[in-house]
Amino acid sequence: MEYKVTIKVIDIKKKGGKCNFHQLGDTIILEDKEMDATKTLKGGLCPAATTAIYPYLLGFKYGAVYTWSDDPDRIVACCSDPIDLATFEITREPLKKK
């Protein structure tokens, strides 16, 4: 099955000042075949966020269900930047076959 995955910034904890990459509400939409690190970096995710959430993106691509989430098509994940910690909501929805 192919999915549309949406990555949205839902929170930023700023200890060191302004986050240089993300603002609340920033959104990246990936279609199944676009789900790779090159696309996420070009789409506007910083390297720390890309490395932190990429395993979840791959899991969603292949149908993974994360048992800690109340919704099998939604998870919340954070980047690894300890100074300007961004939190992302990652959702997926099946693409309709044409």
Which segments in the chain show pLDDT lower than 50?
Answer: none
pLDDT of residue 57: 86
| Structural domain total, the chain | 1
Cα 64 to chain centroid distance, Å, stands at 15
Q: Are 92 and 53 in contact (CB under 8 A)?
A: no
**What residues make up the domain containing 51?**
3-94
- Rounded Cα distance, 65 and 86, in Å: 23
